Amino acid sequence: MNILIQNGRVVDPANAIDEALDLLVSDGTIARFGKAGTIKPAGAQVVDAKGKVVVPGLLDMHVHLREPGSEYKETISTGTAAAKAGGFTSVCSMPNTNPVNDSRSVTEFILSQAQREAVARVFPIGAITKGSRGAELAEIGELYDAGCVAITDDGKPVMNGAMMRRAMEYATIFDIPVISHCEDMSLAGKGVMNEGFVSTELGLNGIPGAAEEVMVARDVALAEFVGCRLHIAHVSSAGSVRVIREAKQRGIKVTAETCPHYFSLTEEAVRGYNTLAKMNPPLRTAEDRGAIRDGLRDGTLDVIATDHAPHGMDEKSVEFDYAPFGIVGLETAVGLTLKLVNEGVLTFEGAVRALSLNPAKALTINKGTLSVGADADITIIDLDQEWVVDASQFKSKSRNTPFGGWKLKGRAMETIVGGVL
Ligand code: DOR
């Protein structure tokens, strides 16, 4: 089937394109571009993108799909429906499912379930250690062979430095990145929010920024030593941005992501013991948020990922200490990122890079571009649409967002995966 996307502004950072063009999709791939009105294929389905922006399909490299094991929170079906609604054509599924994705059989289950039910592409990420318990390495070669694009124990750090070193050595053999959840558990202790003035006032145990920063520094040192590709997940603190910036200047193979909540909110959102503002790492200070924005601006932080972490509202409707960490993010990420663009922190092209090309590069997967011959994974964004976040309308099974009621401008209006509208 042919699809002709007409009258849009095409923005494709990989090919330095930002102009009004028509785009023809044929049999699931990008077939050609042409000046407006110059492509006239017979029988093509026409999509009118007048006043809209046509960008490479967005890729969220940090998503908790919860299947297998916690299907009451999310499934591969509902999670990818949320992705598609939010403008993402691909997601990476984190391994902290039940059972943990630490073996070929779990990876194959995820891929076969995705084949049956997913409406966006799913790239599984395998665990670093068996059960993500930190005691014994997972079969990294087997995970790679089964289709995992990276390894991580996300949700937990790998506390043992020697274990992390060995994981990096194995990952290097397969040329896949190690994604690090940076948290020194001995410093994080029983913390449930950022350690500082607000945690003291609220009487909650704090997690200092240093709990993240010392592990970023450790893993950067190990990546340099081993020569491994390191990706730092969910960067939340100014100190982490500083360490990553310096590591990049020194040529170490490190990439890093932050999430919309870290550039949009601060620890103040926790006041009132708001469990919808509880995530790990925690929301931090205005100074940290400023540093995250600076890191996005200067490219220290390459990637915007959501850390989409669905939890049931009954689980969140408890005392702050007992609520699980995490918020959903797939359906608000584009609007929150465009807010950054409107505030002048990022250019639109920079935002598209952070949401498509850069995560694809970090994972070395062939996505994030509208090059002729590439899979027709395309997102069409309406930059002018004003909307109010209403969690009851989410495609996700879960509603745990701190952004309910926010007025946002800009939204994905069409998501095309492999040439399917
Ligand atoms: O807030 C979080 N939630 N951070 C993590 O690292 C894990 C995630 C989850 O799985 O719920």
| Claim to verify: residue 180 and residue 124 sit in the same structural domain | yes
pLDDT tens, position by position, 20-71? 999 999 999 999 999 988 998 888 999 999 999 999 999 999 999 999 999 9
| Claim to verify: residue 38 and residue 156 sit in the same structural domain | no
Q: How many CA atoms within 13 Å lie on the side-chain side of 73?
A: 24
- For residue 357, is it within any domain? yes
Give me the domain span that covers residue 385. 2-53+376-416
How far does residue 126's CA lie from ligand 1's centre (Å)? 16
The predicted pLDDT at position 1 comes to 80
| Claim to verify: residue 294 and residue 399 sit in the same structural domain | no
CB of 264 closer than 8 Å to CB of 204: no
| Claim to verify: residue 408 and residue 280 sit in the same structural domain | no
Is residue 64 lining ligand 1, measured as CB closer than 6 Å?
yes
pLDDT tens, position by position, 120-134? 999 999 999 999 999
Nearest CA to ligand 1 atom 9: 309
- For residue 315, is it within any domain? yes
Is residue 316 lining ligand 1, measured as CB closer than 6 Å?
no
| Claim to verify: residue 126 and residue 174 sit in the same structural domain | yes
The predicted pLDDT at position 41 comes to 86
Q: Report the C-alpha gap between 339 and 346 in whole angstroms.
A: 9
Atom of ligand 1 lying closest to residue 327 CA: 1
| Claim to verify: residue 135 and residue 244 sit in the same structural domain | yes
Q: Report the C-alpha gap between 331 and 219 in whole angstroms.
A: 31
- For residue 152, is it within any domain? yes
- For residue 402, is it within any domain? yes
- For residue 398, is it within any domain? yes
Sign, CA dihedral 183-246-284-326, equals negative
Letter string b/e over residues 374-400, b meaning 16 or more CB atoms within 10 A of that residue's CB: bbbbbbbbbeeeeeebebeebbbbbbb
The predicted pLDDT at position 154 comes to 98
The predicted pLDDT at position 42 comes to 85
Pocket test for ligand 1, best of 66, 280, 320, 398 (most atoms within 8 A of CB): 280
- For residue 369, is it within any domain? no
Q: What are the φ and ψ backbone dihedral angles of 121, each rounded to 5 degrees?
A: -75, 145
Q: Would you give per-residue pLDDT tens digits along the chain (421 residues)?
A: 899 999 999 999 999 999 999 999 999 999 999 998 899 888 899 999 999 999 999 999 999 999 999 999 999 999 999 999 999 999 999 999 999 999 999 999 999 999 999 999 999 999 999 999 999 999 999 999 999 999 999 999 999 999 999 999 999 999 999 999 999 999 999 999 999 999 999 999 999 999 999 999 999 999 999 999 999 999 999 999 999 999 999 999 999 999 999 999 999 999 999 999 999 999 999 999 999 999 999 999 999 999 999 999 999 999 999 999 999 999 999 999 999 999 999 999 999 999 999 999 999 999 999 999 999 999 999 999 999 999 999 999 999 999 999 999 999 999 999 999 9
Is residue 181 lining ligand 1, measured as CB closer than 6 Å?
yes
Structural domain total, the chain = 2
Is residue 155 lining ligand 1, measured as CB closer than 6 Å?
yes
| Claim to verify: residue 326 and residue 194 sit in the same structural domain | yes
Is residue 84 lining ligand 1, measured as CB closer than 6 Å?
no
| Claim to verify: residue 187 and residue 258 sit in the same structural domain | yes
The predicted pLDDT at position 149 comes to 98
| Claim to verify: residue 163 and residue 285 sit in the same structural domain | yes
Residue 342 sits in a domain whose CATH number is 3.20.20.140
The predicted pLDDT at position 352 comes to 98
| Claim to verify: residue 353 and residue 303 sit in the same structural domain | yes
- For residue 292, is it within any domain? yes
- For residue 20, is it within any domain? yes
Instruction: Give the catalytic positions in this structure.
Output: 307
